[in-house]
Amino acid sequence: MKIASKIIHAGRSKKWTGYSVNVPVVRASTIVFDTMAELKHATIHRGDQVPYYGRRGTQTHFAFSDAICELEGGSGCALYPCGAAAISGALLAFLKTGDHLLMVDNAYEPTRGLCDKLLKKLGIETTYYDPLIGAGIAALIKPNTKVIFLESPGSLTMEVQDVPAICAVAKQHDIVVMLDNTWASPLLFRPFEHGVDISIQAATKYIVGHSDAMLGTASANAKHWPTLREAGYLMGYCASADDVYLAARGLRTLGVRLKQHQQNALEVVQWLQQRPEVAHIRHPALAENPGHAEFVRDFSGSNGLFSFVLHQGDANAVAAFIEGMQHFKMGFSWGGYESLIIANLNVQALRTATVWPYSGPLIRLHIGLEDPADLIADLALAFSRFNQALAAQ
């Protein structure tokens, strides 16, 4: 089945949906049983999509988990209240005191905070590595290295990693490979086909697609699914049935939305390439983007998220650029239908293993579903404000 069809049908088993097109919202805490035999059966199979207790899931949760597994290729999918919870839940499932973690240097800022604060407090050592290291990661492996964590592309600076090369090294040492696959979603990169053991997503982003629910997923291969599943339950992770329903509903239009996000973003990129203020554009589909060859090899397309670097600009000039936008709204997250903008004046502060080669401020855009001509007009006015602020200094 082609992916466009699979995304419509995934997770829509009649045992979950009944006679409805969509799975209903089933909210539950306590599950009641008529007989001791039913209770025993549910207890024995409580990890196997059998209603047992609300935290284990209902038909709503089971249907969505099935859909993610079908699309990503995993053996099981655990749900979490947000993407950051999926990251912490997955890491804590496989790490203990005395273990060593290899973490990519371009990781999502809360992931880095988790390593530097909570994991450090638990006696888990983190070494950050260059996202472009590829098979060279073998030199960083220690006897106690248990997990290698990837984020590809990086959600701020967009480096694309050589996932198969890193996974091949990890397999030689029996190390678990986790990938934050949020940028690609289940459609643009197939993690398990490239050797990943656990694929993590902030479903908050493109899967929900409407900026109105928070949800995280972690899918695992057959070897690691039992450990991931039980750890999530023991740590008390669960997700609202209402939020899961919104994610399942958003999933059905993910394919067409991503195509439009990609098309709109590339139009904006082409316009930005002509701007004299722009020093560099970080978009995986561009030949100059770090890891572009791996992107062409491994990915089936791009989306609406990318960054660009300005030649110069201080905090006042950047504020003039960002403030006063008509279509771009200032805010964290991405993946919704609306366009967003944020700025970072010190990318190097988020890195310890690599040197950021640019001195100017970085602007990250999420290109939504508005008409690109309107977005370009918005950016043109932003550059006018920016240049006026620079001239006034």
Q: Is 298 a catalytic residue?
A: no
Round to whole Å and give the CA distance between 215 and 82.
Answer: 4
- Catalytic, 212? Answer no
For 264, phi then psi, to 5°, come to -60, -45
| Residues 218, 196 contacting (CB under 8 angstroms) | no
Strand, helix or coil for residue 147: strand
**Among 321, 335, 310, residue whose Cα is nearest residue 380:** 321
Do strands 340-344 and 362-366 pair parallel, antiparallel, or not at all (unpaired)?
A: antiparallel
- Check if the beta carbon of residue 176 is closer than 8 Å to that of residue 146: yes
Distance CA 288, CA 273 (A): 12
Based on the residue annotation, tell me whether 371 is a catalytic residue of this protein. no
Q: Which of the following is catalytic: 66, 130, 162, 180?
A: 180
- Cα 78 vs. chain centroid, distance in angstroms? 15
Q: What tokens appear for 246 in the block?
A: 């919104």
Catalytic one of 55, 249, 275, 385: 55
**Active-site position among 56, 205, 257, 364:** 205
Residue 180 annotated among the catalytic residues of the structure: yes
- Closest to 285 (Cα-Cα) out of 357, 188, 181, 169: 188
**Annotated catalytic residue within 52, 108, 129, 237:** 108
Residues identified as active-site? 55, 108, 180, 205
